[in-house]
Amino acid sequence: MVAIDTNIIVRFFTRDDESQYEAAFQLIKMNEIFIPNTVILETEWVLRFAYEFKPSEICDAFTKLFGLKNVHVSDPHAMLHSIEWHRQGVDFSDAMHLALGEQSSRFFTFDKSFVKKADSLSTIVVTGL
């Protein structure tokens, strides 16, 4: 299994450099791939800010990539929740924090908007300070 960096995924999704896209495609096609959580967060940020992807486009891209049999993430259940909640309007990083923290009973934040959006999403009680 090999781990891949953000720039590999971005080339794969955007195809903005044909030779790098082809190298990324072959790498993903020919190997068991592991994508660290930090790479997922950074990829979402790059796609949103540098490439102006809409949330639905990011969710669709991640869903397709994570659905490949040879692609692995640390916690598939948490990634599924992160994508679902992002589709429902929660910031991707907040959704991922919440999903990865589900083994906890409470999640504290100063972000009142996040508290409102997360209220009905998770088994964790999200509490604003």
**How do residues 32-42 score in pLDDT, each as one tens digit?**
999 999 999 99
User: What's the rounded Cα separation, in Å, for the pair 127 and 99?
Assistant: 15
* Domains of the chain in sequence order: 1-74 (3.40.50.1010), 75-129 (no CATH)
- Work out the mean pLDDT of the chain and round it to a whole number: 93
Tell me the sheet residues that pair with 71.
33
pLDDT surpasses 80 at 20: yes
**Tokens standing for 55?**
């949330």
Task: Check: CB of residue 96 under 8 Å from CB of residue 83.
Answer: no
Look at residues 92, 108, 107, 96 and name the one whose alpha carbon lies nearest to residue 45.
92
pLDDT at 123: 62
User: What's the rounded Cα separation, in Å, for the pair 14 and 56?
Assistant: 15
Tell me the sheet residues that pair with 118.
none
Angle between helices 55-66 and 76-87 (to 10 degrees): 160
Segment 63-112, tens digit of pLDDT: 999 999 999 999 999 999 999 999 999 999 999 999 998 888 888 889 88
pLDDT band at 122 (very low <50, low <70, confident <90, very high): low
Task: Check: CB of residue 20 under 8 Å from CB of residue 76.
Answer: no
pLDDT at 109: 86
**For residues 103 and 7, which has the higher predicted lDDT (pLDDT)?**
7
